[in-house]
Structure 1
Amino acid sequence: MATSRFHTSQHTSEQLLESAGAIVFRLSTQEVCVLHLLPRDEYILAKGRRNVEESRWEAALREVREETGYCCRLIPVTMRSRAPPAVETEPYGDVLRTHSNITEPFSLQIRHLETEGDVKLIWWFIAVVDEEKVPNEDRPGEEKFNVEFYGYEEVVKKPTFQMDRDMVQRAIDTVKATYS
């Protein structure tokens, strides 16, 4: 019997909940968006469920627009990843490499739900507010949220959950390193 070098688990479609979200920047003022979830007095990040046949990045931008009222776009950043280049001209091993000008997810959160075997995957992207467009007045965002922007130093203290604070800091570091 062969033994594995790693832990493996398998989840069927009935056990998966896939979401996507974005850390949303306003580059002109060096601010990041957080949502104040009023019913629970929590500070969270814009995210939501991915629809069938929807790409992860499309889901992230749609969820940001629905929850905040802001139109956004992904911004290309420089970040390290184990993914090979888009065009493989030679065999690439499974190594960490730096990619420039990419809009891939920069983080994945995996939440093990209370139901036996169910998992929630949340793919996170880095996005910027389209400052040419005002928030969608027909759909200004969900009423249960106050949409708030904070400067880089203040925003890392805002999210209720430590994992979110760490992720915001990583996004800020990535944007600063790319656009310094």
Structure 2
Amino acid sequence: MASSSTSKVYDGTQYVESCGAVVFDDSKQKVCLLLRARAKEDGSKQEAWVLPKGRRHCGEHRYAAALREVEEETGYAAHLQSLNMVTRAPAAQEPEAVTAGTPRPCRTYTEPFMVTHRNKEDGYLKLIYWYLAVADAQMTAGEETFTPRFFEPDEALETISFPDERKVLEKGIRLMTGGR
């Protein structure tokens, strides 16, 4: 039987899962970006403002990977923020046949609110699952290649370096401020 949808199948050598978060300060008024500095082949530095994210370890839950990466890269432990959003996922207490994949509001949701699909130059697929998180007030030392800084939401949207992460940031800000 033929399906009306299109699909492509990847084995474990052809993709990697990453997890990240849009991280707000404990007042939920400012959002964290990382200044990432990388050395280029010519010895110069390449800098970019990014969201915290990284690869999920084997056997690690996606949400745990997102929180681990936030702490490693920003120096802040964080917790997931429950949010209200529109999703195709059924609520735990309702049978899937009730929703049949129809988008509808869901309350107290701590699943990923967005997914990025990147085709990497060296031929593999990178999937990034994005969460909404709030940083705990106390900071420890993060990775040396990243400098965390909290911005007002509008300034963060102007500062972030990559268009796909700007879309994630925009949605995260809307969800945190009560929009959908």
Q: Fold match, TM over 0.5?
A: yes
Match for 1:23: what amino acid?
V
Q: Distance in 1 between matches of 2:90 and 2:172?
A: 21
Quick check: 2:48–2:160 contact (8 Å CA) kept in 1?
Answer: yes
Partners of 1:159 and 1:52 in 2: CA distance: 30
Distance 1:170 1:83, change over 3 A: same
The residue number in structure 2 matching 1:135 is: 139
Q: Equivalences for 1:49-64 in 2 at 5 Å?
A: 49-64=55-70
Q: Which residue of structure 2 aligns with residue 99 of structure 1?
A: 106
* Secondary structure of residue in 2 paired with 1:18: strand
The residue number in structure 1 matching 2:171 is: 170
Counterpart Cα distance in 1 of 2:68 and 2:96: 36
How many equivalent pairs are there? 171
Give a deviation string over 1:151-174, Cα, whole Å, max 9, x none.
Answer: 011111111111111211110011
More strand by share: 2
1:60 CA drift (Å): 0.2
> What amino acid sits opposite 2:171 in the alignment?
R
2:128 to 122, 135, 142: 122
Change over 3 Å in CA distance of 1:144–1:90 after alignment to 2? closer
Task: For residue 29 of structure 1, report the CA deviation from its aligned partner.
Answer: 6.0
The answer on whether the counterparts of 2:28 and 2:134 sit within 8 Å (CA) in structure 1 is: no
SS in structure 1 opposite 2:17? strand
The aligned residue for residue 43 of structure 2 is none
Q: Secondary structure of 1:71's partner?
A: strand
Pick one of 116, 119, 130 that aligns with 1:112.
119
Gaps of 5+ in 2: 39-45
Verify the 8 A CA contact 1:158 1:165 in the aligned structure 2: no
Give structure 1 regions of 4+ aligned residues with deviation exceeding 3 angstroms.
Answer: none
In the TM superposition, residue 91 of structure 1 has moved relative to its aligned partner by 2.5
- Separation of aligned partners in 2, 1:124 and 1:89: 25
Q: Percent identity?
A: 36
Q: What is the TM-score when the length of structure 2 is the normalising length?
A: 0.90
- Alpha-carbon separation, structure 2, partners of 1:38 and 1:30: 26
1:1-180 alignment, distance < 5 Å: 2-28=1-27, 30-39=29-38, 40-89=46-95, 91-92=97-98, 93-116=100-123, 118-131=124-137, 134-136=138-140, 140-177=141-178
Contact preservation (8 Å) 2:26, 2:136: no
Tell me the TM-score normalized by structure 1: 0.90
